Amino acid sequence: MSSVTRPDEDEGAIHVDFDDNRLLPLLYGEHDKHLAQIENRLGVSLISRGNHLAISGPTEAAEIASTALRALYQRLGRGQSVDAAEVDAAVRMASGGVDLTGEPGPVIQTRKKRITPHSPTQARYIEAMTGNDLVFGLGPAGTGKTYLAVCSAVAMLISGKLDRIILSRPAVEAGERLGFLPGDVREKVDPYLRPLYDALYDTMPADQVMKRLESGEIEIAPLAFMRGRTLSDAFVILDEAQNTTRIQMKMALTRLGENSRMVVTGDLSQIDLPSGVRSGLHEAVETLEGMEGVSFVEFTDADVVRHDLVSRIVRAYDEREKAAKAKADK
Question: Is residue 244 included in any domain, yes or no?
Answer: yes
Question: Is residue 126 included in any domain, yes or no?
Answer: yes
Range of the domain at 26: 2-95
Instruction: Answer yes or no: is pLDDT of 114 > 90.
Output: no
Question: Is residue 146 included in any domain, yes or no?
Answer: yes
Given pLDDT bands bounded at 50, 70 and 90, which one contains residue 5?
low
Last residue of a domain, one of 72, 95, 118: 95
Residue 307 to residue 312: CA distance in whole angstroms = 9
Asked if residue 215 and residue 86 are part of one domain, the reply reads no
Q: Say which CATH number the domain at 183 has.
A: 3.40.50.300
Domain count within the chain: 2
Asked if residue 51 and residue 119 are part of one domain, the reply reads no
Q: What is the pLDDT of residue 310?
A: 66
Asked if residue 150 and residue 292 are part of one domain, the reply reads yes
Q: What is the pLDDT of residue 155?
A: 93
pLDDT tens for each residue of 61-93 = 999 999 999 989 988 988 888 988 889 888 888
Asked if residue 245 and residue 212 are part of one domain, the reply reads yes
Question: Is residue 321 included in any domain, yes or no?
Answer: no
- Global pTM reads 0.76
Given pLDDT bands bounded at 50, 70 and 90, which one contains residue 146?
very high
Residues 144/303, Cβ–Cβ less than 8 Å: yes
Asked if residue 209 and residue 70 are part of one domain, the reply reads no
Asked if residue 124 and residue 85 are part of one domain, the reply reads no
Using alpha carbons, select from 214, 216, 243 the residue that is nearest to residue 157: 216
Asked if residue 125 and residue 42 are part of one domain, the reply reads no
Asked if residue 289 and residue 221 are part of one domain, the reply reads yes
Question: Is residue 329 included in any domain, yes or no?
Answer: no
Asked if residue 171 and residue 65 are part of one domain, the reply reads no
Residue 65 to residue 91: CA distance in whole angstroms = 7
Q: What is the pLDDT of residue 176?
A: 44
Q: Say which CATH number the domain at 73 has.
A: 3.30.1370.10
56 φ, ψ (degrees, to nearest 5): -125, 155
Last residue of a domain, one of 70, 95, 120: 95
Question: Is residue 101 included in any domain, yes or no?
Answer: no
Question: Is residue 89 included in any domain, yes or no?
Answer: yes
- At what angle are helices 120-131 and 84-95 packed, to 10 degrees? 80
Beta sheet of 14-18, edge-to-edge order: 2-5, 14-18, 52-56, 45-49
Q: What mean pLDDT comes out for the span 286-307?
A: 87
Residue 140 to residue 48: CA distance in whole angstroms = 37
Residue 138 to residue 266: CA distance in whole angstroms = 5
Q: What mean pLDDT comes out for the span 257-266?
A: 94
Residues 243/173, Cβ–Cβ less than 8 Å: no
Asked if residue 278 and residue 150 are part of one domain, the reply reads yes
Q: Distances in Å between the alpha carbon of 55 and those of 64, 301, 319?
A: 10, 28, 34
pLDDT tens for each residue of 223-237 = 887 888 888 999 999
pLDDT tens for each residue of 166-218 = 998 887 543 444 454 455 555 555 666 777 888 889 888 989 999 999 999 99
Last residue of a domain, one of 95, 125, 149: 95
Lowest mean pLDDT among 54-63, 265-274, 317-326: 317-326
Asked if residue 55 and residue 113 are part of one domain, the reply reads no
Asked if residue 153 and residue 75 are part of one domain, the reply reads no
pLDDT tens for each residue of 19-37 = 888 999 999 999 999 999 9
As a whole number, the mean pLDDT across the chain is 84
Instruction: Return the beta strands (E) in 117-243 as ranges.
Output: 134-138, 164-169, 218-222, 234-238
Question: Is residue 319 included in any domain, yes or no?
Answer: no
Residue 122 to residue 129: CA distance in whole angstroms = 11
Using alpha carbons, select from 77, 86, 83 the residue that is nearest to residue 19: 77
CA max distance for the chain: 75
